[in-house]
Amino acid sequence: MKKITVVGAGNVGATTAQRLAEKHLTEEIILIDIIEGTPQGKALDIWESSPVELFDTKVHGTNSYSDTANSDMVIITAGLPRKPGMSRDDLLAANVKIVKEVTQNVADNSPQAILIIVSNPLDVMSYVALKVSGFEKNRVIGMAGILDTARFRLFVAEALNVSVNDVSAMVLGGHGDSMVPLTKYTTVSGIPIIELLPEDTIIKLINRARKGGAEIVNYLKTGSAFYAPSSAVVEMADAIIKNRNRILPCSVWLEGEYGINGVFCGVPVKLGSNGIEQIIQLNLSSKELEALKNSAEDVRRNIRKLNF
Ligand code: APR
């Protein structure tokens, strides 16, 4: 991949640009923001770390979409973050305007790009990006599941005092309190978690993962998480750029899969050079399926609040 644009030079955007550069994933990174000077300053600062970090990626900051032209991938992080006491849905009205404007500019300048959406409420913003861009559904992907899963994996590893490397998990649903961690698919080196931890402990860990974003917001007070979110974005970018065909939970446009239609929701997908190569349909229990459908309905309710 030659050129990746990151829209929003705030905490998530700038950290994403840094991680992309340090992982040698592209020849050029463009960081764009509405605030003058911020993307230029942060991009130059990241670029100046290249002789020490040993990457040849060029990193440029700008306020003009013409500089982003013909990007292969665009990561949208523009928008307001949460404050303590706010849910992601409270960001809807402010961020929909921003994501609409950003997506229009991105689609005009990079019509072939794969879009990764990070701005919250994530699933609704992915819908906005899909509709405004007019891109095919395989090219508009929301980042949430990997982050929610990473949090859950860490909490499981911590509870068992084992390496995070050995913990696999799958968290589905919308990126909110109704997300659906799948206990059946949570394993430690292939051993089902139910054989290793009592049920009440698992439930506590699930609840902590559900509220993982709020836990960080409550500490930070003036912003929301960005180290783990940027890691999650870059894992998606890596899978697409290297055509790895990785199976990862992402927010995607569903058209009947899992009995859910016309809404963005987190499900396992195969990520490769075309973006979403395939949506993986798991054999969920009726309880899990109901939870997933309820979570999708939460997203649908928010989509209905939009004026398009
Ligand atoms: N175009 C480009 N950039 C914009 C626009 C716009 N129309 N509107 C706002 N921005 C920029 C802001 O100027 C700011 O630099 O988006 C950036 C957001 O950065 P932060 O406030 O640091 O927020 P961050 O923590 O990065 O979160 C961004 O990602 O995880 C989500 O919920 C989070 O919606 C939030 C988004």
- Going along the chain from its start, the domains and CATH numbers come out as 3-142 (3.40.50.720), 145-303 (3.90.110.10)
- Would you say 251 and 123 are in contact if contact means Cβ atoms under 8 Å apart? yes
Within 10 A of 85 (CB to CB), how many other CB atoms are there? 9
Residue to substitute in 5, 6, 11 for testing ligand 1 pocket (most ligand atoms within 8 angstroms of CB): 11
Specify the pLDDT at position 258: 97
Q: Which atom of ligand 1 is nearest to the CA of 35?
A: 13
Specify the pLDDT at position 301: 93
Could you tell me the distance, in angstroms and rounded to a whole number, from the CA of residue 33 to the centre of ligand 1?
8
Specify the pLDDT at position 112: 98
* Reported pTM: 0.97
Q: Which residues contact 164 (CB under 8 A, 6 or more apart)?
A: 153, 154, 157
Positions of the chain with pLDDT under 70: 308
Token digits for 174? Answer: 């919308």
Residue with tokens 């309905």, as numbered in its chain: 297
The number of residues in the chain equals: 308
- Would you say 248 and 268 are in contact if contact means Cβ atoms under 8 Å apart? yes
- Secondary structure (3-state) at 282: coil
- Identity of the amino acid at 172: L
Task: Please give the DSSP secondary-structure letter assigned to residue 173.
Answer: B
Could you tell me what percent of the chain has a pLDDT over 90? 91
Show which residues are catalytic: 175
Specify the pLDDT at position 61: 98
Could you tell me the distance, in angstroms and rounded to a whole number, from the CA of residue 77 to the centre of ligand 1?
5
Question: Would the CB of 39 count as within 6 Å of ligand 1?
Answer: no
Nearest to 13 by CA among 69, 59, 71: 59
Residue with tokens 């072939």, as numbered in its chain: 112
